[in-house]
Amino acid sequence: MHDEYFEEFNLLLNNWWITKKDNRDDYYKIKSKLTNLREIASKLGCDIICNNKLIKLEKNPLWLDEVYNIPNFDKKIDYVLLMVLIMFLEDKALDEQFILSNFTEYVNNVLANIDGDNKPDWTSFKDRKSLVDVLKYAASIGIIRLRDGNDANFAENIETEALYENTTLSHYLVRNFKFDIFDTTCAQDFIDKELNLLDNKDLKKIMTYRSLFLYPDVYFKDLPIEVLQYLKNMRNNIANDISKYLEGELIFVKDMALVSILENRGMIFPNMNQSITDIVILMCHYLKEYVENNNDPLLPKKEFLTILGNVYLDNKDYFAKKYRDLTKDKFSEVIIEYMKSFKMIKVCDDNILLYPVVFMYDGCYLKDEEESENYEILSFEWEE
């Protein structure tokens, strides 16, 4: 249909950007519908950047949570090194080259007078591994190119060299803020200041659309009462936009709402092409049994880890090798981070809150079948 924009909008939603050089067809496809795409972006309160290099949808968060964590970044120093890399590239020209030791020296100089623990020690394997993860991520999104050498070897050998090239895309990685950032003292300040610039009518709409379009689900208790009222009153209009721009369906389930979309579109759960999906569905089964017996979706973290340990011990023989070979502690860490990234759970100090979406899934391995890797997802019902 001529009035559908879900293919173009999903390209913007699921990528940092679409570059003309690397994705020419997609770039022009999106550009041809830019006016209409900016209409939905305005409902999100987000800008679309379009120039001769790229098209990018700015994705402004509502909350500080794990949904937008960078894959493989598990320490603060990873993010510190990424920010220092952006600073390093700021004054470099298009295609200008540099070697790895140039950057490590720059890091030492920039962070020399910074207080705290987020300064790398290049004699530490963990810190060298962090740098490797950052450089690989930077290359994957296109802000640098690896021209020669193997930077992965830096984790093992501090003398390793590699040659890189600047693409200047790093200029578009950090947002342009519409307020004085020198008045901010923490990450939450950036979110609060942006939302404070909006009048009440726009705030209700923007918070509603962002919570549905930019997050896996929205828990009603996380929304201000006026925003929740807007969501319920405008649900038909919102559902039409979700169909038009996401090719999805708006679902209300108990104390939450979510967008149900096609399985092959973007980062979703359940993704049947990922073996971790099996494990999380099993975990939902065990958690459902616990809540039925205790009638409380808030459980001590110690109890949650015990349940996760039982999932591991009872079923590890059926896991993919990647997860079967993990220690129990590392296994727990990986599953918790994954569930947090899809807003299935929230860690609250020494407790873990189970979001209602956990109870939508229930499955177990068919261990008595020859094909033991199969599992069954039991049926569930949407509840208004």
pLDDT digits (tens, 9 = 90+) for 299-318: 999 999 999 999 998 888 88
The per-residue pLDDT for 84 is 95
Report, as an integer, the average pLDDT of 323-328. 88
The per-residue pLDDT for 370 is 47
Give yes or no for a contact between 273 and 284, defined as CB atoms under 8 angstroms apart: no
> 291 φ, ψ to 5°?
-65, -35
pLDDT at 265 over 80: no
The per-residue pLDDT for 316 is 86
* Tally of CB atoms within 10 A around 132: 21
User: Per residue in 332-372, pLDDT tens?
Assistant: 999 999 999 888 999 888 999 999 889 888 888 776 554 44
* Residues above pLDDT 90, as percent of the chain: 60
pLDDT at 70 over 50: yes
> 49 φ, ψ to 5°?
-90, 130
The per-residue pLDDT for 362 is 83
b/e code 200-223 from CB counts within 10 Å (16+ = b): eeebbbbbbbbbbbbbbbbbbebb
pLDDT at 19 over 60: yes
Q: Confidence class of residue 101 from pLDDT cuts 50, 70 and 90?
A: very high
User: Per residue in 208-224, pLDDT tens?
Assistant: 999 999 998 999 999 99
Torsion of CA 363, 367, 372, 373, to 10 degrees: 20
* Residues above pLDDT 70, as percent of the chain: 91
Compute CA distances 26 → 6, 142, 170, 244, 247, whole Å.
13, 16, 21, 18, 18
Residue 250: alpha-carbon gap to chain centroid: 21
Q: How many whole angstroms separate alpha carbon 105 and alpha carbon 21?
A: 31
Q: How many whole angstroms separate alpha carbon 335 and alpha carbon 356?
A: 18
Q: Confidence class of residue 378 from pLDDT cuts 50, 70 and 90?
A: very low
Q: How many whole angstroms separate alpha carbon 74 and alpha carbon 81?
A: 12
pLDDT at 381 over 80: no
